[in-house]
Amino acid sequence: MCICHLPCRLVKPNLVGDQTFSKMGAHYHCIICSATITRRTDMIGHINRHVNKGETESRFITAPAPKTSQEVLKESDTDVQVLPNYTTPQKTDSYFNPKMKLNRQLIFCALAVLAEERKPIECLDAFGATGIMGLQWAKHLRSSVKVTINDCNENSVTMIRENCHLNKMKVILNAKEDDTDEAIEDGEETIGTIEVTKMDANVIMHLRSFDFIAAARCNKGIEVLLAVALEHFVLVVVRVLRGPSPADDSAKKIKYLIHCQWCEERIFQRESNMVEENPYQQLPCDCYGSMPGKTAVVLGPLWSGALFNTGFLRRMLFEAVQYGLEETQPLLKTLVCEAECTTLKQFSIHSSTDENKQEECGVYIKTPDTSAESYLVHGKRKSNEVIRNTPKRQKCENSAEHPAFYYNIHRHSIKGMNMPKVNKFLSYLSEAGYRVSRTHFDPMGVRTNAPLAQFKTILVKYSTPTYTGGQAEGPVHLTEDLQVGDHVQAAVAGKAGDGEILEDNKSGVTATFTKDCPTPCAAD
């Protein structure tokens, strides 16, 4: 239908000589001569004739776009100008996401630690947008870093240059010093120098994903220093190690995962030169024999090594305190506890004599202090073999002990039972001799090296039945899930014989646990 408010009815003379109007269907109006055309193909040809005759040149004068008001935001003592709708990438060229503040602070702490090892270090902000991340590096680390900010959008490059002038930074564009007289007054000192480039991301990152996993071909391996999953982003900080030995070690840490779809037990597949007929037998559970069909799946390849370096995390925590990044400090403390699998650590920030007790999860468990010396600085070449080999052995031992999996306590809770608090449950697992810690990405997650069967056994042992309002005294009729959990506990503990186990709760009600159930795994 026509919505241009022009006369849209054809005028046809009749036999008498009067004019009558006839209705039309969908049609087009030429914006140049206001002609009415019914077919689209005819309209395209009509416009092409106007173009060939030169009737479209200098016909329309585009009005200049109104200048939009720019807003100045401040983050970590760094000012940036943003355009309206800066949180929507589709509507603006200067995309700025406030939710990524924690991610930017973690990257800054990692660079601050690296800047203490060697100076200066070259840093690249490949997707600059407003340039907030590169500006923070140059403003706080100053001469310790050489920052390059890149973006493929011309408007974003202009915005980055303006933000550099706003923060009193000298801009180098195309390897030549830019004229900064307009932004910086005469005699005023600049804080640092930033190189701004305009380049397509494909030139830097390429389009082939396998380029990033072929480092072992060049005798290079990696060491994972930090892995964080928050909100909608995942941050992984790795260190590239040179030499055939690190390359072989990194390749060996890429394994397949066997995951049971019934009990959710999981384990990394063992290395073997022979093809195994039934790899599901490697799982601790026996669901593959008692359940019909395909009970497990093989996932991967996955990284099976350690996800944290405790010494590096402690140094990041020290830098966060030095630069006043208060929002990052609680997260780094949680990461240190997760890396060492403990619920309490004594953080030594300023010196080895200062003891700052930090309570995590409300449980006090003293563990030996791990100094920052466990963090190994891998340079290009080292002449001292003792410094190079001794921490490497410690690193391998710590990586082997780090639990690779976590379990959600809510997902494995027993129906009809009140599960214990997470803080107490961590203490119960720790008393049983397992390494435990909370996870930074799941508030109800428990990272532990305990098998899933033992995890459920301890969870059932310290869970209490859920009572109704009418039950005040007398024996409690246990549900089937509770009896099943008790049999799992009996199977793991290896107790033989029939009998009854009496357990008193706080209300004085006695719960009876019977032992007349089928096999533990089938019941589970």
Domain boundary among 374, 391, 423: 374
Q: Identify whether residues 20 and 109 lie together within a single domain.
A: no
Span 447-484, pLDDT tens digits: 998 999 999 999 999 999 887 544 443 333 444 444 44
Supply the DSSP symbol for 211. G
18, pLDDT greater than 60:
no
Q: Identify whether residues 418 and 512 lie together within a single domain.
A: yes
pTM: 0.65
Q: Identify whether residues 47 and 80 lie together within a single domain.
A: no
Class of residue 468 by CB neighbours under 10 A (exposed 0-12, middle 13-18, buried 19+): exposed
Is the peptide bond prior to 301 cis by the omega test (within 30 degrees of 0)? yes
Q: What is the 3-state secondary structure of 57-103?
A: CCCCCCCCCCCCCCEEEEECCEEEEECCCCCCCCCCCCCCCHHHHHH
Pair 59, 119: CB distance under 8 Å: no
Q: In this structure, is residue 296 part of a structural domain?
A: no
Q: Identify whether residues 47 and 79 lie together within a single domain.
A: no
Q: Identify whether residues 438 and 340 lie together within a single domain.
A: no
| Averaged pLDDT, 482-501 | 41
Query: DSSP strand E in 151-211: where?
Result: 169-173, 176-177, 192-197
Q: Which domain holds residue 483?
A: 406-523
Pair 11, 21: CB distance under 8 Å: yes
Give the CA count within 13 Å in the CB-facing half-sphere of 323.
25
190, pLDDT greater than 80:
no
Q: In this structure, is residue 338 part of a structural domain?
A: yes
Q: In this structure, is residue 486 part of a structural domain?
A: yes
Q: Identify whether residues 85 and 203 lie together within a single domain.
A: yes
Q: Which of 97-101, 153-157, 201-205, 321-325 is modeled with the greatest confidence?
A: 321-325
Q: In this structure, is residue 395 part of a structural domain?
A: no
Longest dimension (CA), the chain: 114
Q: Identify whether residues 437 and 491 lie together within a single domain.
A: yes
Q: Identify whether residues 80 and 194 lie together within a single domain.
A: yes
Q: Identify whether residues 43 and 90 lie together within a single domain.
A: no
- CA trace torsion 352, 354, 358, 364 (10° rounding): 80
261, pLDDT greater than 80:
yes
Domain boundary among 353, 374, 395: 374
The pLDDT assigned to 455 comes to 93
Domain boundary among 207, 240, 260: 207
Span 99-145, pLDDT tens digits: 899 999 999 999 999 999 888 899 999 888 889 999 999 999 988 99
The pLDDT assigned to 23 comes to 57
Mean confidence (pLDDT) of the chain:
73
Counting the structural domains of the chain, the total is 4
Residues contacting 326, CB < 8 A, separation 6+: none
Q: In this structure, is residue 253 part of a structural domain?
A: no
